[in-house]
Structure 1
Amino acid sequence: MRSRFLPYATTPGRLIAQVFSDLLVASWITVWVLVGLAVHSAVATIAEVGRQVKDGATGISDNLHSAGDSAHKIPLVGDTVSKPLRAASEYALDLAGAGDNLDTTASWLAVLLGVAVAAPPILAIGMPWLFLRIRFFRRKWTVIMLARTPAGEQLLALRALANRPLRRLTEVSFDPVGAWRREDPYAIRGLAALELRSAGVGLPRAWRPSAR
Structure 2
Amino acid sequence: MKIYADRAPVAIRQLVTDLLVAAWVYAAIWTALWLHELVGKLAVPGQKLEGAGSGLADNLGTVGGKVGRVPVVGDDLTSPFERAATAARSMAEAGHDQQALVHELALALAIGSLIVPIGLVLFVWLPLRVRWMRRAGAAVGLRADPAGQDLLALRALTHQPLRRLHRIDPEVVTAWRNGDEDTVRELAALELRGLGLRGS
| TM-score higher than 0.5 | yes
Match status 1:157 vs 2:149: no
Q: How many residues align?
A: 200
C-alpha distance in structure 2 between counterparts of 1:201 and 1:21, whole Å: 18
| 2:39 aligns with one of 36, 40, 43 | 43
The corresponding residue for 1:185 is: 181
SS in structure 2 at match of 1:104: helix
User: Residue by residue, what CA displacement relative to the aligned partner does 1:141-164 show, whole Å, maximum 9, x if unpaired?
Assistant: 332333353322211112223333
* Counterpart position of 2:124: 128
Counterpart of 2:81 in structure 1 is: 85
* Alpha carbons 1:25, 1:126 under 8 Å: kept: no
Shift of 1:126: 5.6
| Residues 115-167 of structure 1: per-residue CA shift (max 9 Å, x gap) | 22342244346632223212212321332333353322211112223333566
2:135 aligned residue: 139
Q: What does residue 64 of structure 1 align with?
A: 60
Q: Distance in 2 between matches of 1:87 and 1:176?
A: 96
Contact kept, 8 Å, 1:53 with 1:99, in 2: the verdict is: yes
Cα RMSD (Å): 2.5
- Determine whether 1:12 maps to 2:2: no
The range that moved more, 87-96 or 177-186, is 177-186
Counterpart residue number, 1:210: none
Structure 1 residue 88: Cα displacement: 1.2
Supply the distance in 2 between the matched residues of 1:155 and 1:30 (Cα, whole angstroms): 41
What percentage of residue pairs aligned between the two structures are identical?
Answer: 36
Q: Is structure 2 residue 197 aligned with structure 1 residue 201? A: yes
- TM-score, L = length of structure 1: 0.80
Task: Tell me, yes or no, if structure 1 residue 108 matches structure 2 residue 109.
Answer: no
Measure, in 2, the Cα distance between the counterparts of 1:10 and 1:156.
17
Q: Residue 17 of structure 1: CA displacement?
A: 0.9
Aligned to 1:27: 23
Note if contact 1:11-1:202 (Cα within 8 Å) is conserved in structure 2.
yes
Deviation string 1:61-99 (CA, Å, 9 cap, x unpaired) is: 112112211211121221122221122111111111111
Unaligned 5+ runs, structure 2: none
The 4+ residue runs of structure 1 with deviation greater than 4 A are 165-175
- TM-score, normalising length from structure 2? 0.84
Whole-Å Cα distance in 2 between the matches of residues 65 and 150 of structure 1?
A: 92
One of 82, 91, 95 as aligned partner of 1:95: 91
Give yes or no for contact 2:39–2:105 (8 Å, CA) kept in 1. yes
Take 1:44 and 1:91, find their aligned partners in 2: how far apart are those partners?
A: 26
